């Protein structure tokens, strides 16, 4: 009788418990990818010179064409390098820039991603011995028009500094608004 009771309790337990529960664990999706791109920057270089009773500002267009190459480690972090060369068609002196960025990014939708750029840039004014480098940053957004092609727009500052020479301050800013297209592979 004791064996009958154990068998009956076991059968009832199985009946009330229902079918076996199967736990499914999805494999992580690999979102890493390399990418290359081409863009145009509508740039400006500004210099302001001032002392205790004088101030003068200069501003020139520093438009450029740039190449970009990067690697998405996942959907939230990438590294990116950009090389921009002056495309100014007036008598302005174009600025060439090489920059490397860490690119934190956040996918707002499956197509739209916003991002920041934090890095370092080396700049040189063409046909001169003038070069300058420093912290570079930016903010932007990219949109996937098809699976592997994205268009982007961003703002980047590749140099911002104030230098003091005796009683004279020189404030320099080089920045641009950029548009472009990139291909992921």
Q: What is the pLDDT along the chain (185 residues), one digit of tens a residue?
A: 555 555 555 555 555 555 555 667 776 777 789 999 999 999 888 888 887 777 788 887 878 899 999 999 999 999 999 999 887 655 566 778 999 999 999 999 999 999 999 999 998 877 777 788 999 999 999 999 998 999 999 999 988 887 777 777 888 888 899 999 999 99
- pTM greater than the 0.95 cutoff: no
- In whole angstroms, give the CA distance from residue 88 to residue 60: 10
Let me know if 110 is exposed, middle or buried by CB neighbors in 10 A (0-12, 13-18, 19+): exposed
DSSP per-residue letters across the chain: -HHHHHHHHHHHHHHHH-SPP----PPPP---EEEEEEEEEEEEEEEEEEETTEEEEEEEE--EEEEEEEEESSSSEEEEEEEEEE---SSSPPEEEEEEEEEEEEESSSSEEEEEEEEEEEEEETTSS-EEEEEEEEEEEEEEEETTEEEEEEEEEEEEEEEEETTEEEEEEEEEEEEEEEEE-
Contact 60, 94 (CB under 8 A): no
- In whole angstroms, give the CA distance from residue 18 to residue 127: 80
Contact 13, 20 (CB under 8 A): no
CA 120-123-125 angle, to 5 degrees, is: 170
Q: Domains in the chain and their CATH numbers?
A: 33-184 (2.40.160.20)
Contact 28, 22 (CB under 8 A): no
């Amino acid at each position: 009788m004791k064996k009958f009771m154990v068998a009956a309790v076991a059968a009832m337990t199985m009946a009330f418990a229902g079918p076996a529960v199967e736990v499914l664990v999805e494999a992580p999706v690999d979102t890493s990818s390399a990418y290359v791109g081409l863009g145009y920057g509508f740039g400006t270089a500004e210099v302001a010179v001032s002392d205790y009773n004088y101030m003068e500002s200069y501003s020139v267009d520093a438009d450029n064409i740039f190449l970009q190459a990067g690697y998405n480690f996942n959907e939230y972090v990438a590294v990116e390098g950009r090389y921009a060369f002056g495309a100014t068609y007036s008598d302005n002196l174009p600025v060439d820039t090489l920059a490397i960025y860490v690119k934190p990014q956040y996918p707002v939708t499956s197509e739209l991603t916003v991002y920041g750029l934090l890095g370092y840039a080396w700049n040189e004014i063409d046909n001169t011995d003038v070069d300058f480098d420093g912290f570079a940053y930016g903010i932007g957004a990219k949109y996937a028009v098809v699976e592997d092609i994205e268009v982007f727009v961003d703002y980047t500052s590749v140099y911002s500094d104030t230098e003091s020479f005796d009683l004279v301050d020189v404030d320099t800013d080089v920045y641009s608004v950029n548009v472009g297209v990139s291909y992921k592979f």
